[in-house]
Amino acid sequence: MQPASFASAATSPAEGLPLSLPGDAFLADDSQSRSGEAPPAPRSLREAGLGVGQVSDLALKLLYLHGAMAGYEVAQEVRLPFPLVDEALRFLKEQRCAEVTSGDSMGPVSQRFTLTELGRIRARDVFEQCRYVGPAPVPLAAYARQCRAQNVVGLECRADSLLQAFDGFVLQEGLLDELGAALCSGRSIFLFGPPGNGKTEIARRIGRFLHEFGGEIYIPYAIDIDGAIVTVYDPSLHRATDGRAGDDPAAPLANSLAERDFDAPMPDRRWRRIRRPVMLAAGELTLDMLDLRHHPGSGYYTAPLHIKGNGGVFLIDDFGRQIVNPRELLNRWILPLEDRIDFLSLATGRKVAVPFEQVTLFSTNLDPAGLMDEAFLRRLRHKIYVAPPTRDMFARILRRICEAQGIAYHPDSVNTLFGQHYGVNRSPRSSDPRDLVEIAGAICRFRGESLRLDQAVLSEAARRLFCSIDAAVAN
């Protein structure tokens, strides 16, 4: 009886390489990896961390789906240099699973391959095990090294570039200095304070800073963890910047790696160059979303959101309002925040260590003392209180919003609000100017009047925004 897949049948050149590592192995220095540099194209299957059987299985599935393909087309699809793919295609011919039908004018690279009847049977068996078709995965060990080389610890953060990320946002005095120091450390950040004062927007601007000014990093399409394929690159979440023609299956032969000079520096095309990612989770976050997502019908996994965010920002907004108990979430984060390593579970129950390399940012308007104990607070390196706006800050926010809406700004508006509505029982919020102008606009439009913010309209807008339910019922 023949084995279910060539990956299990063929001897792997990478046999003996650790694909799931103990945590401390991630901390080893890799002198060949540098932040911002692409991993080099592998010169052999061993360098690629792959066995000929793994590449043969991918080629089988491609030929089954496309009917016939040239050698360079297979290489383009699996994102490997043709000499490595040629080993797999020759292996398939030796196993009588594939045959050459035409195209020998330029040598093996131009030969067209089709599956034999045996090859089609084998391809169906391989599909039953795993339906993943695409770029060949990279080993977990290589992914860990790259994550360490391009982590956010020690990332350069200057006041001028950080100010650009906060353009148009009114910050309280001293807050930019606190945020800058936190970003330079690359450690976790905890934003807390009363609602409506811009914590979510501050978190998003931090993500904007890393995305626009933090440089570019490389992430793989997929990683291999003990023979299981885990997809990482997500075009809906990651912004690719390489724009290479080789990602187009219809690209001409000249754009492939088929005949490249191995002495010339070429990147490993199993990786994509992207802007530092920004991942956001809010009230919908559950514990199972923080683990590998297994697709039983497809036989492969999808990396969780925080792993897709490696090298960037992972923002947990409205912390404490998730479906799951906040203490359970905190217990889940204690080890990763301390050791920068997370442990994920395969469907077999096996735990694997993966890098946890991003700025993890918690934002909440709940009392921190009621959410977490001292052990967890200690692991949140930077705790930043986002206070209600001062009177001057409130005025600047209102002025900016009026200018953006084309409304005349009246300084007396601030005096009216602070004199009649703010005091011991109610603090101003940074969101109030936006909400007041929005309500005023609705009032004016309903009356068929031009948009304005005079005393009469402002008073009515404030009554609607600040009126308590109890007072409304009493009236």
| 193-232 pLDDT, tens digit each | 999 999 999 999 999 999 988 889 999 999 999 889 999 9
Alpha-carbon distances of 237 from 141, 269, 314, rounded to whole Å: 24, 19, 12
Q: Which class for 341: exposed (0-12), middle (13-18), buried (19 or more C-beta within 10 A)?
A: buried
Question: What pLDDT score does 473 carry?
Answer: 43
Residue 146 in domain: no
Indicate if 399 and 372 belong to the same structural domain: no
Cα-Cα-Cα-Cα torsion 119, 121, 122, 124, nearest 10 degrees, comes to 120
Residue 140 in domain: no
**CATH number, domain at 176?**
3.40.50.300
| Low-confidence spans in the chain with pLDDT less than 70 | 1-6, 8-36, 103-106, 244-265, 468-475
Residue 90 in domain: yes
Indicate if 282 and 403 belong to the same structural domain: no
Question: What pLDDT score does 106 carry?
Answer: 64
Question: What pLDDT score does 3 carry?
Answer: 55
Indicate if 381 and 395 belong to the same structural domain: no
Count of structural domains, the chain: 3
Domain, as residue range, for 355: 159-232+277-385
Indicate if 367 and 407 belong to the same structural domain: no
Residue 177 in domain: yes
Distance of CA 441 to the CA centre of its chain: 38
Q: What are phi and psi of 239, to 5 degrees?
A: -100, 100
Alpha-carbon distances of 190 from 2, 316, 462, rounded to whole Å: 56, 10, 32
Query: Could you tell me the pTM of the whole model?
Result: 0.82
Question: What pLDDT score does 434 carry?
Answer: 93
**CATH number, domain at 450?**
1.10.8
Reduced to 3 states (helix: H, G, I; strand: E, B; else coil), residue 325 is coil
Residue 452 in domain: yes
Residue 41 in domain: yes
Residue 72 in domain: yes
Question: What pLDDT score does 470 carry?
Answer: 44
Quickly tell me which residue has 């039953």 as its tokens.
Answer: 128
Question: What pLDDT score does 33 carry?
Answer: 35
Taking a C-beta distance cutoff of 8 angstroms, is the pair 215, 35 a contact?
yes
Indicate if 421 and 358 belong to the same structural domain: no
Indicate if 110 and 192 belong to the same structural domain: no
Contacts of 181 (CB under 8 A, 6+ apart): 382
Indicate if 185 and 220 belong to the same structural domain: yes
Residue 144 in domain: no
Question: What pLDDT score does 23 carry?
Answer: 39
Taking a C-beta distance cutoff of 8 angstroms, is the pair 91, 6 a contact?
yes
Residue where one domain finishes, among candidates 385, 416, 443: 385
Q: Nearest Cα to 203, choosing from 192, 194, 214?
A: 192
Question: What pLDDT score does 186 carry?
Answer: 85
Indicate if 402 and 372 belong to the same structural domain: no
Indicate if 223 and 334 belong to the same structural domain: yes
Angle at 86 between CA 20 and CA 242, to 5 degrees: 65
Indicate if 380 and 405 belong to the same structural domain: no
Q: Which class for 322: exposed (0-12), middle (13-18), buried (19 or more C-beta within 10 A)?
A: buried
Indicate if 304 and 334 belong to the same structural domain: yes
Q: Nearest Cα to 139, choosing from 8, 30, 28, 271?
A: 271
Q: What are phi and psi of 288, to 5 degrees?
A: -70, -20
**CATH number, domain at 98?**
1.10.10.10
Indicate if 88 and 192 belong to the same structural domain: no
